[in-house]
Amino acid sequence: MERKSYPTDLTDMEWEILAPLIPLAQEGGHPPTTDIGEICNAIYYHLKTGCQWNMLPGDFPPRSTVYSYYRKWQGQGVWEKFNHTLGGQVRSKLGKSIQPTVLAVDSQSVKTDQKKGMCMVLTDVKT
């Protein structure tokens, strides 16, 4: 049975870009039984709609499987790799360097609920 298509599903072109960035399953274990593309589609559905994990539509892989991959990839830095790669491709298409060359920093006071107390200041002491 083929599942319903959702607007958040990856296109074939998007999948071609992202598939090489997804870590391969470890050797020696049980071979994966779930389509990784469907895992990605379920994760993107969750991220785009903001639904709770247990409210993923039933035609996606089991929510525990989807969440497990999401957390594992989060720990492996896969999401950062996606952002870095896709951001670089966008910059390249715009005719810019893949890496940004300018950094803007905004320093702003941070309010705290800490009580006022002793503050230690370190300074250079000449002897």
- For residue 66, count other CB atoms closer than 10 A to its CB: 22
Which pLDDT does position 124 carry in this prediction? 52
Q: pLDDT tens for residues 35-80? A: 999 999 999 999 999 999 999 999 999 999 999 999 999 999 998 9
Which pLDDT does position 86 carry in this prediction? 83
Q: Provide φ and ψ at 121, rounded to 5°.
A: -115, 125
Higher pLDDT, 24 or 9: 9
Positive or negative: CA dihedral 7, 8, 14, 19: negative
Q: How far apart are CA 22 and CA 1, in angstroms?
A: 26
Which pLDDT does position 109 carry in this prediction? 63
Contacts of residue 73, Cβ cutoff 8 Å, sequence gap at least 6: 22, 23, 79
**The pTM of the whole model exceeds 0.85:** no
Which pLDDT does position 85 carry in this prediction? 84
Q: Which of 19-23, 88-92, 108-112 has the highest mean pLDDT?
A: 19-23
Band of residue 127 on the pLDDT scale cut at 50, 70, 90: very low
